[in-house]
Structure 1
Amino acid sequence: MRFVCFTLMPYRPLDMAERRKHRSAWVVLPNDLYDPVKGADEYDSYMDQLVYAEELGFDAVAVNEHHQTAYGMMPAPNLIASALIQRTKRVKIAILGRALPLVNNPIALAEEFAMLDNMSRGRIIAGFVRGIGTEYHATGINPAFSHEKFQEAHDLIVAAWTRPGPFSFESENYNYRYVNLWPRPYQTPHPPIWIPSQGSSETIRWAADPERRYPFLVTFSAHDLVARYLTMYRDQARELGYEASGDQLGWAAPIYVADTDEQALAEAREGIETLFNEYLSNPWEMMLPPGYTSLESTKRTMKLRAALGGRPGRMTAEALIESGTALIGSPRTVREKIQRMRDQTGLNNLVSMLQFGVLPDHLAKRNMEMFAAEVMPHLRG
């Protein structure tokens, strides 16, 4: 099993009383609530955590992309990756979430990844996403075209990485007379591509295609949904004529380990509840702007909204643990929950979020140490 240490880099000094006066921590939250001095300290802390993950034996560290939000201070994750390259030697660096439809020039993104891959001597993992609905409010890009822009940008980037240039590329959204990438990627044929998602059936079918076979990561989902979507990926692969390997299946979840279940719950409560209730919470109209999802997905979402009475209530740490959305407990408890999912799905990739919400540095560091010492070794084989 491969273990990835992931952070969102949330802005922890956020005044929560002020935050609650606004409908979201995304897009509409006034940026005068951000203190650059405190923010600089936050970047230092998060970078130190990711560098420490290499010392603890993680296979990879991961960052991602979000815009105009206190939820994650990484609008340019390639910059974070560049800094990590200079401070690490062995660990893979996964950029799990470049939102391709938000990019005006995919060749520039292909160039950036190729540079990073050379600078790290082949330690880069590329993660491609459409970006959640709020990103389209933040950038002013029409979400109705996100699917086609994602696929066309992906095709252009992979072609730029792999085809001898110069060549021309024409699609509905991107037209280039000359595609001739300098530098080329260090890895052959190109950096691995992973696809994080919350379970879109369209995304599963696309990632599982035999021409791609991209690792698919289920994020922020209850245990039953994780098992369902990873099984859906396996079933889709079988329909397409091959058997998906465990290396194509992954799970991303917040995790907290302490000596006992009770201690873990007490220490993780504020962090996990602020993550879901303050940082992640968005009204439906911001999460799912018109055109962002297919008609089928929109109908499913409307049914869910009706079942929840129009808007979900506040989530408790107990409820998040019970659903399996968060893995919080003693080393034995956390190991058993991961192993149970592994037995159900055969997954080989676990993306562990060991700092979340307002969880302070000293607890995040101890959590990383306990997870690395008392969970990872039992699941390596």
Structure 2
Amino acid sequence: MDRLCSRDRRQSRDGIRDDRRVSRGGLLLGRCLHYNSAARKRGNMSEAMRFNAMYFMPYVHLPENHKEFKSTWVNFPNKYYDPAKGHELYQRYLQELVLADRLGFDAIVVNEHHNTVYSMMATPSVIAAAIIPQTQNARICVWGVPPNFMLPNRLAEEYAILDVLSKGRLEVAFPLGTGMEYWSNPVNPATARERFRESLQIILQAWKEDGPTTHYGKFYTYRFLNPWPRPYQRPHPPCYIVGAGSPETIDIAAELGFGYSSVFVPQQRALELNQMLRERAARHGRTVRPDQLPLLTFVYVAETQEQAEKEYIIHLQRFFEDYARSTPQWLAPPGYLSIEQLKIRAAGADKMHGGFDFAAISKSFFIAVGTPEKVANQLGEWAERMGTNHLNNVVHVADMPHWKTVKNMTLYAEEVIPRLRPRAATATKGGTA
């Protein structure tokens, strides 16, 4: 195995490896498991550069007539879901997630979406539970169950179980939920933020206070809040809030001392949101650490720029045109957004839902495609500018096949991470709008 891995790395550097031949022979979980020690050194997570592998787990077998539907969310008929094919996809995706741990990624990120081909992770805690016994070092990030969609005491218990199972490797992010999710869940979007805030209050109370305690609120009443088990990490796992730019969401993160990750917002807006969090956290006497600002990036690494673009762009195009395709109706149900935020979202909707221009999208969002050197330099520049040392790398999109996913993850782990580890110190100095 060691000889095989060394030979593959030499061939990769020489640019002559036939990745299709290497990777299509089967699921490559055995490849290069010894992975170089430089990428395995995690150290203090608040200071070291962090590299996460993020997944959406899409259902890739779209019907030929899928373009007839304006959206692949909410009302896209589930008769097109084949459970047998879904089983095969789950098996493949789970093995790729486990590979991320063995390659040396610092964390594996799973997330929640409903009624869509975009993601088959309607219950990400199930996915997390499936990979915890198969991983040893990577932290497990459940990047987002909207707490206002669930009974908050149940979510507190669920996460505590995962934290104990993983011996303290859990991290959690709390999203309000996309507008599309509210058509699928019986929650009034007009009261979503109030319910969101109260849900977080209950979860933190359940984790931090000795039970039984009580809670009497606007939406929830608990005569006995006494969860078993309690989190392995004390007082609780690291927490973040995920959002798309609403100042109201930033306020909650600042108030609670949570990290914040903006998703699918233009680069300049993401920079402004990070600065907004710093300023509002300071009002509460808090300082935002670089590791509390995870940066969502799309990455693809190949031996040459031409090869990277040839292998990746078609899948990124399908991601935006097909898997993320939605309508203004689904994006913003009545009451979900303020008038001001509705105008902002509407202005940028064509960049995310249904339109594709690689040059324009690459300038707007954090998309790094190319050689290891180029990708490392681009990510390093973004991290320094954003004032973060925490990268959430989307390593698979749309219908990208297994061999490309494994190639991307392996080259990133072997060639990009070692280039970026030493840059953690400079990354913490940026972050001014």
TM-score bucket of the superposed structures, by smaller chain: over 0.9
Work out whether residues 297 and 366 of structure 2, in 8 Å CA contact, stay in contact via their aligned partners in 1: yes
Work out whether residues 261 and 330 of structure 1, in 8 Å CA contact, stay in contact via their aligned partners in 2: yes
Q: Which residue of 1 aligns with 2:231?
A: 185
Q: Which residue of 1 aligns with 2:398?
A: 357
Q: 1:76 aligns with which of 123, 126, 131?
A: 123
1:35-184 matches, cutoff 5 A = 35-103=82-150, 105-184=151-230
Q: 1:276 aligns with which of 320, 326, 329?
A: 320
TM-score by length of 1: 0.94
Q: Which has the larger radius of gyration?
A: 2
Work out whether residues 258 and 292 of structure 2, in 8 Å CA contact, stay in contact via their aligned partners in 1: yes
Q: CA–CA distance in 2 between the matches of 1:242 and 1:73?
A: 37
Q: CA–CA distance in 2 between the matches of 1:118 and 1:244?
A: 27
What is the CA RMSD across the aligned residues, in angstroms? Answer: 1.8
- What is the CA distance between 1:27 and its match in structure 2? 1.4
Q: CA–CA distance in 2 between the matches of 1:341 and 1:236?
A: 22
**Counterpart AA for 1:260:** T
Work out whether residues 219 and 253 of structure 1, in 8 Å CA contact, stay in contact via their aligned partners in 2: no
Q: CA–CA distance in 2 between the matches of 1:139 and 1:226?
A: 28
Q: Which residue of 2 aligns with 1:294?
A: 338
Work out whether residues 270 and 358 of structure 1, in 8 Å CA contact, stay in contact via their aligned partners in 2: no
Q: CA–CA distance in 2 between the matches of 1:299 and 1:67?
A: 25
Q: CA–CA distance in 2 between the matches of 1:74 and 1:20?
A: 23
- What is the CA distance between 1:226 and its match in structure 2? 2.3
Q: CA–CA distance in 1 between the matches of 2:383 and 2:148?
A: 33
Paired residue secondary structure (1:161): helix
Q: CA–CA distance in 2 between the matches of 1:82 and 1:259?
A: 35
Q: CA–CA distance in 2 between the matches of 1:168 and 1:336?
A: 51
**Counterpart AA for 2:345:** T
Q: Which residue of 2 aligns with 1:199?
A: 245
Q: Which residue of 1 aligns with 2:15?
A: none
Q: CA–CA distance in 2 between the matches of 1:239 and 1:181?
A: 32
Q: 1:326 aligns with which of 367, 370, 373?
A: 367
Q: Can you list the C-alpha shifts for 1:299-342, whole angstroms capped at 9, x where unaligned?
A: 3335556xx69x97621333322324422122122112211112
- What is the CA distance between 1:141 and its match in structure 2? 2.1
Work out whether residues 302 and 308 of structure 2, in 8 Å CA contact, stay in contact via their aligned partners in 1: yes
Q: CA–CA distance in 1 between the matches of 2:372 and 2:217?
A: 51
Q: Which residue of 2 aligns with 1:10?
A: 58
Q: CA–CA distance in 1 between the matches of 2:328 and 2:393?
A: 27
Matched, 1:380 2:421: yes
Q: Which residue of 2 aligns with 1:371?
A: 412
Q: CA–CA distance in 2 between the matches of 1:9 and 1:313?
A: 19
TM-score by length of 2: 0.83
Q: Tell me, which stretches of 5 or more residues in structure 2 are unaligned?
A: 1-48, 423-433
Q: Which residue of 1 aligns with 2:430?
A: none
Work out whether residues 206 and 227 of structure 2, in 8 Å CA contact, stay in contact via their aligned partners in 1: yes
Q: CA–CA distance in 1 between the matches of 2:294 and 2:244?
A: 12
Q: CA–CA distance in 2 between the matches of 1:114 and 1:155?
A: 16
Q: Can you list the C-alpha shifts for 1:142-194, whole angstroms capped at 9, x where unaligned?
A: 11111011110111011011111111101100001111111111110011111
Q: Can you list the C-alpha shifts for 1:47-84, whole angstroms capped at 9, x where unaligned?
A: 01110001111111010111111100011111111111
Identity among equivalent positions (%) equals: 36
Q: CA–CA distance in 2 between the matches of 1:316 and 1:224?
A: 19
Q: Can you list the C-alpha shifts for 1:8-62, whole angstroms capped at 9, x where unaligned?
A: 00011222x3221112111111111111111101001110111000111111101
Q: CA–CA distance in 1 between the matches of 2:353 and 2:176?
A: 24
Q: CA–CA distance in 2 between the matches of 1:44 and 1:317?
A: 31
Paired residue secondary structure (2:377): helix
Matched, 1:246 2:287: no
Paired residue secondary structure (1:264): helix
Work out whether residues 67 and 75 of structure 1, in 8 Å CA contact, stay in contact via their aligned partners in 2: yes
Q: CA–CA distance in 1 between the matches of 2:104 and 2:176?
A: 31
